[in-house]
Amino acid sequence: MTPIVKAVRAAEASIVNIRGEKTVNGESLVVGEGEPGRHVNGMGTGVVIDPRGYIITNHHVVSGVREIQVTLADGRRFVARSIAHDPETDLAVIKIDAPDNLPVLRIGRSSDLMTGETVIAVGNAYGYENTVTQGIISALHRAVQVSDAQLYSDLIQTDASINPGNSGGPLLNIDGEMIGVNVAVRAGAQGIGFAIPIDKAMRVASDLLDRRNVRSFHHGLVLGETAPREGRGLSVVSIDEDSPAATAGIRPGDVVTRIGDVEVDGPIDFQRALLDRLPGDELRLALRRDNRAVNVDLTLAAASSASRAKNSPAWEALGMDLERISPSDFRRRFKTSYRGGLSVTAVRPDSPAASQGIRPGDVLVGIHIWETVSLEHVSYILEKSDAATEDSVKFFILRDGGTFYGYVSLASTGKKTR
């Protein structure tokens, strides 16, 4: 058995076929495919990323589809529902309700790929199920403009054939690990195929699942990836005060290595462990603390009750209720140099924010000299930074495609320390 055969055998049970009827309006995402205003039977491929039936694929494969039909490698068919999607990166997560756990494809890394490396593409090319093609990595970091609305950046280029129907399927390395998500952006191209690097795809998938989870419950953890020399897991960067994480005794500097029965190697694993959880659910977390193994139990809180507690400094000092925007959603909605922002969901009448004309729908991107990427940033700025001693601070908001700024008073907050 050759290495390529072994790689395909290891991956094929986790690869699914996706079909569904859609109406093509305007320019198709895949160059050379479709005509305006006509019904077509869409086809594509997906990959199981969680045994409970969560599947990653391309956004354009499932966008506008009336009924997403998924066929597993063993022939079973299910109707899937859309969980989350990001048109900018052309990625989506869907789910089927299978009666048993599904095999999950092993995830590799795209950060250390090399030009000339052997790769394998598997998918539903032109409707022919489980089509396998072989090639090499021709180039890295390619940018491809397929329409006025769609620019792919940082793609893997390969000479393995990737045709319509392959979109959403895996690009494998010789070990059978997924190193990219195939995307058929050049219909009929000979010797030129592209794939979204797996590191980017998993980061986007994590953001998409986080956006879904954050609406349901609150845990109070802010996590970051560990350096390779520090071993597997996610490092605890900070913890919200009076949060479930604080109650559980988790500390900054701890490393989360497992949640329940899910091993945590990266952000996607953390979000997978939280899928289908509800407020009140208890999670067993395995931590690494000062080279010791520690287990703690964390009980999830309702998102609604947690939101005001997290926002209380902004509400009390400025009169604004703020809500997190996921990184992928922020990048999709705003073309700006700011790294992120917080959505203004409510403004208290007669508050400092109201007096400056801030209104619901604005996006707060900065206070004083700091960006407001997270709710924790705002709490720090208003309670612990040198801005807390000022009579007023400068703020920056996004509104209707523009950036606006002003000065908001802190004189009446009762938090001044000088």
Lowest mean pLDDT among 29-33, 70-74, 268-272, 393-397: 29-33
pLDDT band with cut points at 50, 70 and 90 for residue 98: very high
Average confidence (pLDDT) over 176-191: 82
Average confidence (pLDDT) over 287-307: 84
What is the reported pLDDT for 349?
82
Average confidence (pLDDT) over 301-316: 63
Residue 189 clears pLDDT 70, i.e. is over it: no
Q: What is the pTM of this model?
A: 0.69
Average confidence (pLDDT) over 294-321: 75
Residue 248 clears pLDDT 80, i.e. is over it: yes
Domains and CATH numbers, the chain: 11-95 (2.40.10.120), 118-196 (2.40.10.10), 215-299 (2.30.42.10), 307-409 (2.30.42.10)
Residue 307 clears pLDDT 80, i.e. is over it: no
Give yes or no for a contact between 272 and 223, defined as CB atoms under 8 angstroms apart. Answer: no
Based on the residue annotation, tell me whether 39 is a catalytic residue of this protein.
no
Q: From the candidates 167, 343, 351, 374, which is the catalytic residue?
A: 167
What is the reported pLDDT for 217?
84
What is the reported pLDDT for 186?
64
Give yes or no for a contact between 280 and 300, defined as CB atoms under 8 angstroms apart. Answer: yes
Q: Work out the percent of the chain whose per-residue pLDDT is above 90.
A: 45
Give yes or no for a contact between 14 and 48, defined as CB atoms under 8 angstroms apart. Answer: yes
Residue 86, beta-bridge partner list:
91
pLDDT band with cut points at 50, 70 and 90 for residue 57: very high
| CA dist., res. 45 & res. 124, Å (int) | 6
Q: Work out the percent of the chain whose per-residue pLDDT is above 70.
A: 86
Q: From the candidates 59, 60, 85, 219, which is the catalytic residue?
A: 60
Residue 385 clears pLDDT 80, i.e. is over it: no
Q: From the candidates 28, 50, 86, 90, which is the catalytic residue?
A: 90
Based on the residue annotation, tell me whether 90 is a catalytic residue of this protein.
yes
Q: What does the buried/exposed string (b/e) look like for 126-164 if buried means 16 or more CB atoms within 10 Å of the residue's CB?
A: eeebebbbbbebbeeebebebeeebebeebbbbbbbbbb
- 174-178, 350-354, 409-413: which has the highest mean pLDDT? 174-178
In 3D space, the residue among 365, 331, 376, 325 whose CA is nearest the CA of residue 222 turns out to be 376
| Distance in Å from the first CA to the final CA of the chain | 75
What is the reported pLDDT for 411?
42
